[in-house]
């Protein structure tokens, strides 16, 4: 289930965080995220740039889209993909919350 298009400040629940992290855990999907960091790209360009068969690329694009990390649009016979900045911001905010709390010292044992 993709992330709802909610404000970037909306907190991720643990299942959403897991889904995003799982989608990003694959090296090919990370390459795709990096390739799309510069803006929208056509699937034909991504296939050539990453040296992947279209079927393999389509699988990874589908996983990222289902996780809510990508959006797409069709123009003629081509499909263009772009990052969903709100999903990345939600993940960043979730990680920032974790980082903020991890330096809290333990309470003394009784």
CATH of the domain at 74: 1.10.10.10
Strand-pair category, 70-75 with 41-42: unpaired
CA torsion 35-12-96-92 (nearest 10°) is: 10
Per-residue pLDDT of the chain (110 residues; tens, 9 = 90+): 455 444 444 678 888 999 999 999 999 999 999 999 999 999 999 999 999 999 999 999 999 999 999 999 999 999 999 999 999 999 999 999 888 888 888 899 98
Q: 71: domain range?
A: 14-99
**pLDDT confidence of residue 76:** 94
The neighbouring-strand residues paired with 71 are 82
Reported pTM: 0.81
Per the CB < 8 A criterion, the answer to whether 81 and 41 are in contact is yes
Kindly state whether residue 33 falls inside one of the protein's structural domains: yes
How many separate domains does the chain show?
Answer: 1
Distance CA 17, CA 42 (A): 27
């Amino acid at each position: 289930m993709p992330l709802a298009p909610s404000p970037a400040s909306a907190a991720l629940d643990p299942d959403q965080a897991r889904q995003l992290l799982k989608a990003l855990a694959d090296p090919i999907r990370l390459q795709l995220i990096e390739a799309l960091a510069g803006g929208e790209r056509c699937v034909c360009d991504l296939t050539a740039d990453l040296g992947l068969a279209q079927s393999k690329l389509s699988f990874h694009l589908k996983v990222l889209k289902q996780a809510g990390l990508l959006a797409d649009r069709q123009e003629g016979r081509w499909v263009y993909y772009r990052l969903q900045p709100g999903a990345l911001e939600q993940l960043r905010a979730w990680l920032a919350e974790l980082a903020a709390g991890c330096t809290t010292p333990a309470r003394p044992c009784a």
